[in-house]
Amino acid sequence: MTLHAKSIAELSAGLRAGEYSSVELTQHFLSRIAAANAALNAFVTVTADRALADAKAADRRRAAGDAGPLTGVPIAHKDIFCTDGIRTTCSSKMLADFVAPYDATIVERLSAAGTVLLGKTNMDEFAMGSSNETSFFGPVKNPWNPAKVPGGSSGGSAAAVAARLAPAATGTDTGGSIRQPAALVGISGIKPTYGRVSRYGMIAFASSLDQAGVMAPSAEDCAYLLAPMSGFDTRDSTSVQRPVGDYVEELGQSLKGMRIGVLREFFAEGLESGTGARVQAAVDEFRRLGAEVVEVSCPNLPLSVPTYYVVAPAECSSNLSRFDGVRFGHRCVDPKDLMDLYKRSRGEGFGAEVKRRIMTGTYVLSAGYYDAYYLKAQKVRSLISADFKNAFDKVDLLIGPTAPTPAFDIGAKFDDPITMYLNDIYTIGANLAGLPAISIPCGFVGELPVGVQLIGPHFSEGRLLAAAHAYQRETDFHRRIPAAYA
Amino acid sequence: MSLSTTPDGWEVVIGLEIHAQLATRSKIFSGSATAYGAMPNTQASLVDLGYPGTLPVLNAEAVRMAVKFGLATGSKITERSIFARKNYFYPDLPKGYQISQYEHPIVATGSIVVLLDDGVRKTVGITRAHLEEDAGKSLHEGLEHASGIDLNRAGTPLLEIVSEPDLRSAKEAVAYLKTIHTLVRYLEICDGNMQEGSFRCDANVSVRRIGAEKFGTRCEIKNVNSFRYVEKAINYEVLRQIDVLESGGSIVQETRLYDSVKDETRSMRSKEEANDYRYFPDPDLLPVVLAPEFIADVRASLPELPHEKAARFVSQYGLGDYDAGVLTASRELADFYEAVVGKLGSDSALAKVAANWVMGEFSALLNRDGLEIAASRVSADALAGLLTRIADNTISGKIAKEVFELMWSDQLEADAVIEAKGLRQITDTSAIEAAIEAVMAANPGQLAEYRSGKDKLFGFFVGQTMKATGGKANPAQLNELLKIKLAGP
């Protein structure tokens, strides 16, 4: 088996057995990136020198008998995580030359675990988008069909993993930005419980929804990375002080007797029929594997898209105020006064979608509109959370589609934001309620992959990964690699 | 212009917003130091600079200090208070928003009693007190076509204390401001340094015809940094508003700046130009939930409060309200006074003498030399030693002042000065009599006049005899002996 087709567990075993060094492994992935990135545009920055240095250090660590399961395993980080000395762009002109003087907590933790940094992946600008078309550095292509989008906003991480340019990558998920692209490129992607993973060093889009997670071919791979990323961080007040489970160990849990709820609202109008059929087949497979499948309802869930498009823009309008041309980021040439500095620096630095959300957010927080929009959205958010809580009184996990359709054509929805926003209809609920959720591949419509989503109660990452792993032991969709990248 | 009385027929309505910088060692949301006067931007961490990806983490000590203030003013402590973002753009506001509290401040509805100049005790309502971060500073000096930004102050914890519009004159406003100033220093939550901006206030001022029910339109005077300027700025603003109204105009709600050089306020921005701050709960910070045990713990840590101490000084030392107020205006002065009194025994007459000395000579020399009490050149023990020598008639009160000056300048004990300078009081009757006789012999004319009924000359003989004894004669003895001698055989 070629190196890039191996799972993280297999790579880890190979490194441990001395079949190859981390330097060899890293060179293998760097050469794949060099060959494929021009076509896919998955990486904004490839950190070859850093990767080789990391790999050498990992090999030395191993020689010294100080290696963990991830020591020497190459990964990529979404370009939203600050990396000390390496530019962090958020795929925006605003930060095209921004070099953070520090590492995000998850970058620090994964480095400490011995991972090797291959590079920073492309994304929708400031994580705002569902197709990776809003990137200042251009769209990312879907490895299954270069005319299709890879989903977004973690489209670069998704494409890089799907094309096996990296064994795994980090992502962030504010309204589906890990799960939807994972579904559209046929890989696994987990968004943990809000507060499970530190947000420190992750450039904020919507603080109450943002959560970092992992994208990799399988749930097992995700388990390997998620454990070291997780846990309380004194630098993030919203991270939770609660022990982290041994997710790899917990993968052994059986599906027998597990109650899985089929979300009625997720199989209503708008779900493309081929996608619906693949997801239904996955539900049947879970039943066959011993899960008890029942239908449940979260009646307020259909309100999640409008709720999200009030809350997320409101927070982003404030979070992005710091990009004012004064201390860091893009500054316009020769400002004539302070107002000119603000207007032109921001006007030039932000793309259209970011501006649209800043304006929407500013509007919903304005005097006279706050109650009607922001406050009402918060109330609906509470109702949606309560719906989930009621559902989890009856079942252990919820199941449904990740996205309503397989990957669509680049450009098809770009000028129609409302249709674009509906792509997140099945993923946003978990963000609004702070719940962990995973998308795993469950088949194809034509040549394009389809994802099925599992949502669990707060801090049920171990259970979610175990359920996904049980399914993946019986299926091979997660092992399929696009022919062009096999 | 500094008129302290309001023109007839008008009533003044004032509310103050005080910003007290909390005396925490580090900032409210980062670990940077808060010390004043460092090189620009040397005390600004990535969090203070608003760097992408950074997050605020609340300083627990700032919460404790806010709760202390709330408990000291009998205010309601909010069990679940919430930080909110106040959004506006300014170069010295790194994140484009200030983290403050809006709908749910940590301290709500309390009051404080203010002792006014005329002895009246006035209760002033406290609407709320909330925690927030300070902004940085824009520097314009010495830079051409550019502004400098110093973010050392960005993120410094502030407690904004908002009063009800209960104040009715500039003098009342200053009395209230001083009361809060004293309180925050007692609580050791603010150093009270107005020059460095650790304690500053905005005044909301309006006027209305006496008897009117509705408040007039108010103007907010920003950032006045001394008690004197607060009084002057309010007085200017009151007369300006009355002038506008009496000449048929109307007051525009606006923010005004006080110019202490010109002694006037001038418009900074009107309500129309004001920002829409788009407050909303800060999603980066959890609600501050205070357990009853925590509040009880803070309550137990409260020191004796200024009004409690003043009341005790009145009952324990027999002082008047005014003296008790002056002595308790700062915790250091009150402690110094009590240290002096502690050495003097339980004689309440001496406690009053001590009060006069602490408020008089002692405070005067501190002021003259610009010293804090901690750096005083005469210790409480030494001052008590001096007062003991007055009480036991070793020296007179007048000589004592001379001794005190020398104690201050040469840092000596009272006894050492008295011995070295031979200032011991003359209590030997025969010595005083001899001096009197010599004065009488030298002034036969005045003696004859006195004896023919010109009683006023008694003072002349006191003065001459005192002079002849170098001021050392015991004054009471001198008086008594002089009366007998002058009356003649």
A370 vs B contacts (CB less than 8 Å)? 278, 280
Tokens for B468?
């002849």
The identity of residue A229, as a single letter, is M
Nearest to B46 among A102, A342, A374 (CB): A102
| Span between the terminal Cα atoms of chain A, in Å | 11
B321 burial level (CB within 10 Å; 0-12, 13-18, 19+): middle
From residue A418, how far is each of A421, A422, B270 by CA, in Å? 5, 6, 39
Pairing mode, if any, of strands B148-150 and B157-163?
A: unpaired
Give the distance from residue A226's alpha carbon to the nearest chain B alpha carbon, in angstroms. Answer: 20
Segment B329-342 shows an average pLDDT of 94
| Residues above pLDDT 70, as percent of chain A | 100
Pairwise CB contact (< 8 Å): B87 & A238 = no
B51 vs A contacts (CB less than 8 Å)? 100-102, 328
Say what the pLDDT of residue A431 is: 98
Is A188 among the catalytic positions?
no
Contact B18, B28 (CB under 8 A): no
| pLDDT above 70 (res B5) | no
Structural domain of residue A101, as residue ranges? Answer: 3-259+457-485
Tokens for B61?
């000590």
Banded pLDDT at B1 (limits 50, 70, 90): very low
The one catalytic residue in A21, A130, A154, A177 is A177
| Span between the terminal Cα atoms of chain B, in Å | 65
Q: CB contact, 8 Å: B278 with chain A?
A: yes
What 3-state DSSP class applies to B373? helix
Tokens for A410?
């680049």
| All residues at 6 or more sequence positions from A226 whose CB lies less than 8 Å from its CB, including other chains | A190, A192, A197, A213, A214, A247, A461, A465
| Residues above pLDDT 90, as percent of chain B | 67
From residue B193, how far is each of A401, B14, B182, B189, B365 by CA, in Å? 62, 23, 11, 12, 21
Q: Across the strands, what pairs with A145?
A: A142
Q: What is the CATH number of the domain that holds A14?
A: 3.90.1300.10
| CA atoms lying within 13 Å on the CB side of residue B277 | 13
Task: Write out the H or E segment, with its range, that includes residue B129.
Answer: strand B121-133
Nearest to A326 among B46, B57, B91 (CB): B91
Examine residue A479 and state whether it is found in any structural domain, yes or no: yes
User: What would the DSSP string read from start to end of B222-291?
Assistant: EEE-SHHHHHHHHHHHHHHHHHHHHTT--PPPEEEEEETTTTEEEEEEEGGGS-----EE-TTS--EE--
User: What would the DSSP string read from start to end of A212-263?
Assistant: EEEEESSHHHHHHHHHHHBS--TT-TTS---PPP-HHHHTT---TT-EEEEE
Examine residue A276 and state whether it is found in any structural domain, yes or no: no
Contact A361, A313 (CB under 8 A): yes
Pairwise CB contact (< 8 Å): B283 & A82 = no
Nearest CA in chain A to B280: A365
Pairwise CB contact (< 8 Å): B57 & A237 = yes
Banded pLDDT at B366 (limits 50, 70, 90): very high
Contact A154, A167 (CB under 8 A): no
Nearest to A201 among B53, B279, B283 (CB): B53
Examine residue A319 and state whether it is found in any structural domain, yes or no: no
Kindly report, residue by residue over A346-364, the tens digit of the pLDDT: 999 999 999 999 999 999 9
Quick count: other Cβ atoms within 10 Å of Cβ B205?
Answer: 29
Is A256 among the catalytic positions?
no
- Look at chain B and count its residues: 489
Kindly report, residue by residue over B119-167, the tens digit of the pLDDT: 899 999 999 999 999 999 888 877 777 788 999 999 999 999 999 999 9
Tokens for B57?
């983490």
Q: Across the strands, what pairs with A188?
A: A216
Tokens for B420?
């070295």
Angle between helices A219-229 and A8-17 (to 10 degrees): 70
| pLDDT above 90 (res B434) | no
Size of interface A-B (CB pairs under 8 A): 99
Pairwise CB contact (< 8 Å): B46 & A324 = no
Examine residue A345 and state whether it is found in any structural domain, yes or no: no
A237 vs B contacts (CB less than 8 Å)? 55-58, 284-286
| pLDDT above 90 (res A231) | yes
User: What would the DSSP string read from start to end of B444-480?
Assistant: HHHHHHHHTT-GGGHHHHHHHHHHHTTT-B-HHHHHH
- Look at chain A and count its residues: 486
From residue B146, how far is each of A413, B89, B92, B138 by CA, in Å? 45, 18, 14, 10
| All residues at 6 or more sequence positions from A223 whose CB lies less than 8 Å from its CB, including other chains | A247, A248, A250, A251, A465, A469
Mean pLDDT of chain B: 91
Higher pLDDT, A375 or B424: A375
Pairing mode, if any, of strands A116-121 and A74-78?
A: parallel
Tokens for B258?
């006080």
Say what the pLDDT of residue B476 is: 85
B120 burial level (CB within 10 Å; 0-12, 13-18, 19+): exposed
The identity of residue B183, as a single letter, is L
Nearest to A208 among B53, B94, B283 (CB): B283
Q: Which residue from A364, A350, A238, A381 is spatially nearest to A313, judged by alpha carbons?
A: A364
Segment B390-416 shows an average pLDDT of 88
Tokens for A444?
């194809």
| All residues at 6 or more sequence positions from A401 whose CB lies less than 8 Å from its CB, including other chains | A266, A267, A271, A275, A276, A279, A426, A450, A451, A452, A453
A297 burial level (CB within 10 Å; 0-12, 13-18, 19+): middle
| pLDDT above 50 (res B312) | yes
Segment A395-422 shows an average pLDDT of 92
The identity of residue A113, as a single letter, is A
Examine residue A269 and state whether it is found in any structural domain, yes or no: no
Contact A98, A89 (CB under 8 A): yes
Nearest to A101 among B46, B58, B87 (CB): B46
SS3 letters across A48-98: HHHHHHHHHHHHHHHHCCCCCCCCCCEEEEECCECECCEECCCCCHHHCCC
**Dist CA B160 CA B200 (whole Å):** 10
| All residues at 6 or more sequence positions from B146 whose CB lies less than 8 Å from its CB, including other chains | none
Examine residue A187 and state whether it is found in any structural domain, yes or no: yes
Provide the number of structural domains found in chain A. 1
Cα torsion A252, A255, A261, A266 to 10°: value is: 70
| pLDDT above 90 (res A247) | yes
Q: Across the strands, what pairs with B115?
A: B121
ipTM: 0.96
Say what the pLDDT of residue A224 is: 98
**Dist CA A365 CA B376 (whole Å):** 56
Tokens for B47?
């969090």
Examine residue A242 and state whether it is found in any structural domain, yes or no: yes
Is A389 among the catalytic positions?
no
Banded pLDDT at B3 (limits 50, 70, 90): very low
| pLDDT above 90 (res A263) | yes
What 3-state DSSP class applies to B422? coil
Kindly report, residue by residue over B24-57, the tens digit of the pLDDT: 999 999 999 988 888 989 999 999 999 999 999 9
Pairwise CB contact (< 8 Å): A327 & B50 = yes
Q: CB contact, 8 Å: A334 with chain B?
A: no
Contact A182, A158 (CB under 8 A): yes
Kindly report, residue by residue over B188-199, the tens digit of the pLDDT: 999 999 999 999
Q: What domains can be seen in chain B, in order of their start residue?
A: 10-298 (no CATH), 306-421 (no CATH), 429-487 (1.10.10.410)
Kindly report, residue by residue over A424-464, the tens digit of the pLDDT: 999 999 999 999 999 999 999 999 999 999 999 999 999 99
Segment B234-255 shows an average pLDDT of 94
The identity of residue A55, as a single letter, is A
Q: CB contact, 8 Å: A328 with chain B?
A: yes
**Dist CA B477 CA A15 (whole Å):** 106
Q: CB contact, 8 Å: A232 with chain B?
A: no
Kindly report, residue by residue over A79-125, the tens digit of the pLDDT: 999 999 999 999 999 999 999 999 999 999 999 999 999 999 999 99
Kindly report, residue by residue over A122-176, the tens digit of the pLDDT: 999 999 999 999 999 999 999 999 999 999 999 999 999 999 999 999 999 999 9
Tell me the pTM: 0.90
The one catalytic residue in A7, A12, A22, A78 is A78
Nearest CA in chain A to B146: A337
Q: Which residue from A101, A129, A150, A78 is spatially nearest to A350, judged by alpha carbons?
A: A129
Contact A112, A68 (CB under 8 A): no
